[in-house]
Amino acid sequence: MNLKPTTSWQEQLRTISSVLTAICLVFISVSIITTGVYIVRSVSYAQKAFHPKQLTSMISDIGDTVSTIHKTTHLLGSGNMKPLVDDFHNLIVVVQKLGIGLENLHIDKVLKESESWRNMSTKALVGMAQALF
């Protein structure tokens, strides 16, 4: 007598697809955790390396550089270079406006917000890791 239970090809296919799904979910979970850890470390490094005073001085230096380039483009306004210089001038005007906007940006608030996001993501990653392991 044959006492072995027979399995159909549909059941084997279902088992194989379940195993592949589990492997994919583990891969996705590990990828999400790895990405989260990388982002948290990057934000931590940026906060340690650049203090608000340093960021403010960098932004003001950018504004001075943009002003110098803006003045230079006005001096280069010759006949055959006019379209290129006009495009470059428009680019400099836009960058200068962005520089002015960055000077008005409150760096302390941005850093506090990024710190709160980092802390929140750290807690979420630790919770996910504890749930998985």
Question: In this structure, are residues 106 and 56 in contact, taking their beta carbons and an 8 Å threshold?
Answer: no
Separation CA 45–CA 40 (nearest Å): 9
Start-end of H helices in the chain: 9-49, 52-75, 82-104, 107-132
The residue to which tokens 């993501």 are assigned: 121
User: Model confidence over 20-67: pLDDT tens digits?
Assistant: 999 999 999 999 888 888 888 877 777 777 666 766 676 677 777 777
Question: What's residue 40's pLDDT?
Answer: 82
Q: Which two tokens stand for residue 41?
A: 């470390």
∠ CA 107-68-94 to the nearest 5 degrees?
A: 60
Asked whether the whole model's pTM tops 0.75, one would answer: no
